[in-house]
Amino acid sequence: MQDLIDLVFGTYPSWSHLVVRIVLGIVFFAHGAQKTFGWFGGPGLSATIGGFRQMNIPPAATALATFIECFGGLALIVGFLARPAALGLIGVMLVAIAKVHGRHGFFLNFSLTPGKGHGYEFNLVLIAMALSIFIGGAGVLSIDRLIAPFGG
């Protein structure tokens, strides 16, 4: 049982993971809240489902992805269940690359070329940040660290 607790909640006393976790959490919470609740100028869940249907993504999968972004981001901000949240966010970003961004190449479309979307470089950065949390845990100042500290 202790091995499972360590696997889910275990974290090293890392200040760098705190920084990565908080910033990653803010980015995902903000984007997820846009898609789920229509906050921060976002479309809300109904419009998000409509947009994702055009990419042949089922409504249940769309809702799951928006909830993972929103509540996974919130989980990272507070540092609770950071590893499972990071894993879910990695999955969402891999699907985003496969369904949307991969066909546009690596780079973001800073020139806003018509008909060309953003590439996957931002998704790759988010995956790397989430992978860091998945590997090392939430870091200091986290609920996970109160549940299962390792590394002194």
User: What tokens appear for 67 in the block?
Assistant: 């909830």
Residue 129 C-alpha from the chain's centroid: 9
Range of the domain at 28: 14-146
Indicate whether 138 belongs to any domain.
yes
Number of domains in the chain: 1
Residue 109 maps to a domain: yes
119 — pLDDT class (breaks 50, 70, 90) = very high
- Residue 133 in tokens: 């949390």
Residue 31 lies in a domain: yes
pTM of the predicted model as reported, rounded to 2 decimal places: 0.92
Classify residue 96: in a domain, yes or no: yes
DSSP classification of residue 42? -
- Reported confidence tier of residue 48, pLDDT bands at 50, 70, 90: very high
Tell me: the pLDDT tens digits for 3-42?
888 889 999 899 999 999 999 999 999 999 999 999 999 9
Residue 152 lies in a domain: no
* Residue 3 belongs to some domain of the structure: no
Q: Is residue 4 one of the residues assigned to a domain? A: no
Instruction: Report yes or no on 151 lying in a domain.
Output: no
Q: How far is CA 66 from CA 36, 70, 77, 137, 150, in A?
A: 6, 6, 17, 23, 32
